[in-house]
Amino acid sequence: LFAASALTGLAHAGMVDDAVKRGTLRVGMDPTYMPFEMTNKRGEIIGFEVDLLKAMAKAMGVKLELVSTSYDGIIPALLTDKFDMIGSGMTLTQERNLRINFSEPFIVVGQTLLIRKELQGEIKSYKDLNDAKYRITSKIGTTGEMVAKKLISKAQYHGFDNEQEAVMDVVNGKADAFIYDAPYNVVAVNKAGAGNLVFLEEPFTFEPLAFGLKKGDYDSLNWVNNWMHQVRNDGTYERIHAKWFKK
């Protein structure tokens, strides 16, 4: 009897196994990150990462459930089982990797700047913002915030819960710059309208985005990484990428 239960214990194989038994893959995300996860006018969560996750759930033979979670609390929410995996445009940082496991990256991005139009010519790189007279914004709990505090530490920093509010402060001239991931800023600058913001589009950090899993769950990591390898080479990734990132 003891041996049998020990074997049952061994057969348990992590979150993918649980999702298959449950019939649902639960993914935690903060759907404010264009064009990866965002809410459309009908209230549906759509985007590049959402489509990748739909393909992943399909390959698993389960339904996809998106669990809206504020970005700031997303790692604690994974660790307390609010969902199975983080899929939220999360940068694989070494600091976060001490707390959770990451899949192979599904894209690489970097920090960029949206600056107040009056500062065109005056600010040519993040280094020019490193002065107490400048006010910079980003989103709480993100790498944008970490990079602002680390590389632009002399500027006055204000963190927002929502990317859109942080961008609006720059459009309205209350802040001088918004620091954030390149793909988000590409969409934001178009939304703001020509001439309302200046986009310094050259990324100045290296940020692989990956799915976050609980530590120790190597069976699920194996499944997700092998799935990633498959979709990267069978045209699935390319098709989804082309839909959201038009050249």
**Which of 56, 62, 71, 177 lies at the binding interface for ligand ARG (CB under 6 A)?**
71
**Tokens in use for 210?**
């990956």
**Which of 137, 142, 185, 220 lies at the binding interface for ligand ARG (CB under 6 A)?**
142
In this structure, is the dihedral angle defined by the CA atoms of residues 143, 149, 155 and 161, taken in order, positive or negative?
positive
**Least separation, in Å, of the C-beta of 245 and ligand ARG?**
16
**Which of 35, 37, 84, 228 lies at the binding interface for ligand ARG (CB under 6 A)?**
37
Secondary structure class of 92 (helix, strand, coil): coil
Q: Under the criterion CB under 6 A, does residue 89 sit at the interface with ligand ARG?
A: yes
In total, the chain counts a number of residues equal to 247
Q: How far is CA 183 from CA 23, 34, 97, 211, 236, in A?
A: 33, 7, 23, 17, 20
Give the separation between CA 157 and CA 138, rounded to whole angstroms: 8
Q: Under the criterion CB under 6 A, does residue 160 sit at the interface with ligand ARG?
A: no
14 or 89: whose CB is closer to ligand ARG?
Answer: 89
The bridge status of strand 32-33 relative to strand 24-29 is unpaired
62 or 209: whose CB is closer to ligand ARG?
Answer: 209
**Least separation, in Å, of the C-beta of 71 and ligand ARG?**
5
18 CB burial (10 A radius; 0-12, 13-18, 19+): middle
Under rule CB under 6 A, which residues in 166-225 are in contact with ligand ARG?
181, 207, 209
Q: Under the criterion CB under 6 A, does residue 113 sit at the interface with ligand ARG?
A: no
**Least separation, in Å, of the C-beta of 84 and ligand ARG?**
17
Give the separation between CA 214 and CA 72, rounded to whole angstroms: 17
| 27-42 as b/e: b if 16+ CB within 10 A | bbbbbbbbbbbbeeee
Q: Under the criterion CB under 6 A, does residue 29 sit at the interface with ligand ARG?
A: yes
**Tokens in use for 146?**
């970490």
Q: Which stretch binds ligand ARG (CB under 6 A): 59-67, 82-90, 128-136, 224-232?
A: 82-90
**Which of 19, 57, 90, 221 lies at the binding interface for ligand ARG (CB under 6 A)?**
90
**Which of 25, 26, 27, 30 lies at the binding interface for ligand ARG (CB under 6 A)?**
30
Q: Under the criterion CB under 6 A, does residue 101 sit at the interface with ligand ARG?
A: no
Q: How far is CA 216 from CA 15, 46, 99, 193, in A?
A: 11, 30, 11, 46
**Least separation, in Å, of the C-beta of 143 and ligand ARG?**
4
Residues in touch with ligand ARG (CB under 6 A) = 29-30, 32-33, 37, 71, 88-91, 142-143, 181, 207, 209
